[in-house]
Amino acid sequence: MNSALILIILIPVIEIYLFITVGSQIGALNTILLIFVTAFIGVYYAKYEGLNTIKSGLSQLIKNEIPAYEIISGAAIAFAALLLIIPGFASDVIGFLLIIPFTRKLILGKISKKFKNSRVKKKDFIEGEFEDIDEDDDRKI
């Protein structure tokens, strides 16, 4: 069975189970309120972290460096905001883990190092001149 199909089925089942479990402990109205509160807090904090990431990326560009971590971090923040808007407690936990800078750096650190190490060095270029020679030209090589 395809792993994507398993995830499509398994994620809603986990979310429904958590809704029922939390709802039986704190009540239905409090569960609905908790869903809205996490969505509002998450979107606000995602906006804040997104602006910080843009500022950091611009400072990297000013230093003439590749903002690899900032690009990946910005995409992770956008995905985290989407997870926080979607109702569910498991998606909220994953979303908050991606928005918090410390955990985001732990999760995405290895990916961004891979891109930073792939920079082209100046030693890899050979400078020279060339001239196109027609076959009818008197000069031969």
Average the pLDDT over 79-97 and give the result.
92
In this structure, is residue 4 part of a structural domain?
A: no
In this structure, is residue 6 part of a structural domain?
A: no
85-92 own/partner pairs: CB under 8 Å, 24+ apart: 85/39, 85/42, 85/43, 87/15, 87/35, 87/39, 88/15, 88/18, 88/19, 88/35, 89/15, 89/18, 89/19, 89/22, 90/11, 90/14, 90/15, 90/18, 91/11, 91/15, 92/38, 92/42
- Neighbour count for residue 76 (Cβ, 10 Å): 20
In this structure, is residue 114 part of a structural domain?
A: yes
Q: Which DSSP symbol is given to 29?
A: H
Average the pLDDT over 25-34 and give the result.
93
In this structure, is residue 17 part of a structural domain?
A: no
User: Predicted confidence band at 120 (pLDDT cuts at 50, 70, 90)?
Assistant: very low
Residue 93 has pLDDT above 80, yes or no: yes
Residue 91 has pLDDT above 80, yes or no: yes
CA 94 to chain centroid: 12
Average the pLDDT over 8-37 and give the result.
92
Average the pLDDT over 20-44 and give the result.
92
Number of domains in the chain: 1
**Hey, what are 99's tokens?**
């928005």
User: Predicted confidence band at 119 (pLDDT cuts at 50, 70, 90)?
Assistant: low
In this structure, is residue 74 part of a structural domain?
A: yes
128 against 37, higher pLDDT: 37
In this structure, is residue 3 part of a structural domain?
A: no
Average the pLDDT over 108-123 and give the result.
64
In this structure, is residue 51 part of a structural domain?
A: yes
Backbone phi, psi, residue 70, to 5°: -65, -35
Range of the domain at 40: 35-119
Average the pLDDT over 86-110 and give the result.
89
- Proportion of the chain in helix, strand, coil states, percent, rounded to 5: 75, 0, 25
